[in-house]
Structure 1
């Protein structure tokens, strides 16, 4: 799968986990990884960038991942960007709420690089194809 030129936005408040996630994404071929440490920072970045994928932590210091996901779904030009929710929350309710907010996938921490790769490939394959 060719990822060159693909931009991924990682929204994660833990610097250690954000770095680890960015490294994992780069190791599976995503060369352009942008990072945001909060929901507000993500929204500001999304105002000027259109990533091909958003990896979004559910628990952020300011606004929840659910709200950021809803913002993406409500923003013209961003609606079809795949959003992979990442959380330590394992409850069915959390996953259902993520789906309701418009998440394309849900990955539970901790996860392996292989689990991340599979989820990323799944949500990227499911996105609507751009008409050339």
Structure 2
């Protein structure tokens, strides 16, 4: 499997969920994954990461700042606004998905998810996923 150039930022407060998501992304070919456990950590990582990540996987429910607010902050920052943001949440309501879209999310993945569901969502939001590289 091809190697993905660029980093992925995984923002998830629950360690098990974070490790599962990181493992699944590695299985898809991503090699540089940075983890953040809350919204403030995520924003700090985004301020420091160069080049900026190729993808942000963002939990909706964080202990400090909601995933919606983090996504809006990403969209309102010129250097970051083009990064695909994949919301990852156990929330299944249509309203949650609609609010994620309003905040600027590129995609929405419901937990629990399969490797194939993750792969499909990443493929939808990322122009050149690792498995499509020559």
What TM-score, normalized by structure 2, do the two folds share? 0.90
Name structure 2 gaps, 5 residues minimum: 129-134
Other structure's SS at 1:5 match: strand
RCO higher in 1 or 2 (8 Å CA, sep ≥ 6)?
2
CA deviations 1:71-96 (Å, max 9, x no partner) are 10001110000000010001010000
Other structure's SS at 1:40 match: helix
C-alpha displacement of 1:2 = 4.6
Counterpart for residue 19 of structure 1: 19
Counterpart for residue 76 of structure 2: 74
Counterpart for residue 51 of structure 1: 53
CA RMSD of aligned residues (A): 1.3
Question: After the TM superposition, which residues 26-105 of structure 1 pair with which residues of structure 2 at under 5 Å, given as runs?
Answer: 26-49=26-49, 50-105=52-107
Aligned length: 126
CA deviations 1:30-57 (Å, max 9, x no partner) are 0000000000000000001111100000
C-alpha displacement of 1:4 = 2.4
Name structure 1 gaps, 5 residues minimum: 127-132
What TM-score, normalized by structure 1, do the two folds share? 0.92
Other structure's SS at 1:31 match: strand
Counterpart for residue 129 of structure 1: none
Counterpart for residue 131 of structure 2: none
